[in-house]
Structure 1
Amino acid sequence: MDADAIIRIVYLIGISSFAVSGVLAAARAHLDFFGALLVGLLCAVGGGTLRETLLGNTPVYWMHDPVILATVLSVAIAAFVLVRFVVIPRWLLELTDIAGLAIVSVIGAKAAIAADATPLAVFILAVLTGVTGEIIRDLLVAQSPPTLLVREIYAAASFAGAVMYWVLHVAGIGDLTATVVAVLTIATIRVLAIWRGWHLPKARLRVQPNSGIADEL
């Protein structure tokens, strides 16, 4: 099996992980079967769709690749059936989320580099690819603010993995090796962030009391 085939399998694992994450979120929100499938699908391909649209690659990849939709929908259906009969451990929820973020972010970086995007654009598109699906998922299940915006280091892990992939790519490291290292970078950061409770500084707005326009007049 060549490197391209392995990377494609890894990609299918990544979007499948996000599909499971979407179905689990839908189950917590008590959505019906088709609602759960929709959330799973959008969580899986939402980030890639945004990336490809920004890059001008339309129609987007999953519209002409039957394997992607078949895989995502099959996994989503299996997850929907499974959660009705099995208690899902917390660590499995985190694992699907970590796998999805790590793999999809790196695939986003790969696609941006292939489109000759600037380095900063590569990093941004990788993060958008990694986190957009989860934002869509949380909006659909009325989770506000989206969990990735208030949880342990998340988007920053995606950014770090994209930087790692770009550095290895520029250094001429083989694509499969660069992909594996970048995926492991994101996954390691996420695991450590969850284990150690790491957070980046949160935005805080300090407003002086009674400092409105009316008080200045």
Structure 2
Amino acid sequence: MFETLAAALNWFGIVVFAVTGALVASRKQMDIVGFVLLGVVTGIGGGTVRDLLLGRAPVFWIGQPEYLAVCAAVAAVVFFTAHIPESRYRLLLWFDALGLAVFAVTGAETAFLAGAGVAGAIAMGMITATFGGIIRDILGGESPVILSREIYVTAALVAACLYVALAAAGVAREVALCAGFAAGFGLRGAALTWNWTLPRYRPRPGR
């Protein structure tokens, strides 16, 4: 039962990130090829980097090309529907928050089960959650959200850390995954709602 739920959660993350890639393409007024390109690289980019760093061959979408097909199909749908939401950027941020939380925990779980250790699993969770968005923003000519003032990587870190801590403590898989997701999405959502930011460096006179 939960295996089905975990698979559904992973697919949900793929679809959500593909939507964010396509929404960036809509903001840049690209053609449908641009929509598909950004949708695909955003949906599978983080997982690809994770698998390469873990030495997993082939990467997940080579053996399961349906990931490519779904990302492309989702992006094509957004090409015809992106005009519907009143604020595409706000929608982009909330969809991105969902994908961030999903991939932080599923990426950490993949690495943890592969024997990456606690630190490695946390790092892989953060990479899976953020690198798709980084690639999307670079290709789309956007300022990478990872460099924004808002809490972003920190939310992925919290989600991955909580999942790994609970999994290492022997907590049931479904509890660990759901708790990590809730923590990551809750923190990112709070940052979007109340404009939370971390303290920033401010230049000071030298001695």
Say yes or no: TM over 0.5. Answer: yes
Q: Counterpart of 1:150?
A: 148
Q: Counterpart of 1:96?
A: 95
The answer on whether the counterparts of 1:12 and 1:71 sit within 8 Å (CA) in structure 2 is no
Cα distance in 1 for residues equivalent to 2:204 and 2:50:
35
The answer on whether the counterparts of 2:18 and 2:40 sit within 8 Å (CA) in structure 1 is yes
Q: Counterpart of 1:122?
A: 121
Same amino acid, percent of matched pairs: 35
Instruction: Give the residue type in structure 2 aligned to 1:40.
Output: G
Instruction: Give the residue type in structure 2 aligned to 1:58.
Output: A
Alpha-carbon RMSD across the aligned residues, in angstroms, is 1.8
Can you give the 5+ residue segments of structure 2 that lack an aligned partner in the other structure? none
Q: How far apart are residue 58 of structure 1 and its match?
A: 1.7
Q: Counterpart of 1:55?
A: 54
SS of the counterpart of 2:58? coil
What does residue range 31-70 of structure 1 map to in structure 2 within 5 Å? 31-70=30-69
Q: How far apart are residue 134 of structure 1 and its match?
A: 0.8
Cα distance in 2 for residues equivalent to 1:127 and 1:4:
22
Cα distance in 2 for residues equivalent to 1:46 and 1:204:
33
Range with greater deviation from structure 2 (50-59 or 64-73): 64-73
Instruction: Give the residue type in structure 2 aligned to 1:165.
Output: Y
Instruction: Give the residue type in structure 1 aligned to 2:81.
Output: L
Q: How far apart are residue 78 of structure 1 and its match?
A: 1.2
Q: Counterpart of 2:27?
A: 28
Select the residue among 161, 164, 174 that pairs with 2:162. Answer: 164
Cα distance in 1 for residues equivalent to 2:15 and 2:135:
16
Can you give the 5+ residue segments of structure 1 that lack an aligned partner in the other structure? 209-217
Q: Counterpart of 2:194?
A: 196
Write out per-residue CA displacement over residues 79-111 of structure 1, whole angstroms, 9 at most, x where no aligned residue: 11111x423445532321111101011111001
Q: 1:148 to 1:46 in 2, by over 3 A?
A: same
Instruction: Give the residue type in structure 2 aligned to 1:197.
Output: N
CA radius of gyration, larger in: 1
The answer on whether the counterparts of 1:18 and 1:40 sit within 8 Å (CA) in structure 2 is yes
Q: 1:30 to 1:114 in 2, by over 3 A?
A: same
Q: Counterpart of 1:77?
A: 76
Cα distance in 1 for residues equivalent to 2:14 and 2:68:
10
Write out per-residue CA displacement over residues 180-211 of structure 1, whole angstroms, 9 at most, x where no aligned residue: 11111101001111122111123455575xxx
The answer on whether the counterparts of 1:19 and 1:43 sit within 8 Å (CA) in structure 2 is yes
SS of the counterpart of 1:40? helix
**When the two structures are superposed, what TM-score results if normalisation uses the length of structure 1?**
0.88
Instruction: Give the residue type in structure 2 aligned to 1:54.
Output: L
Q: 1:58 to 1:88 in 2, by over 3 A?
A: farther
Matched, 1:177 2:175: yes
Matched, 1:9 2:8: yes
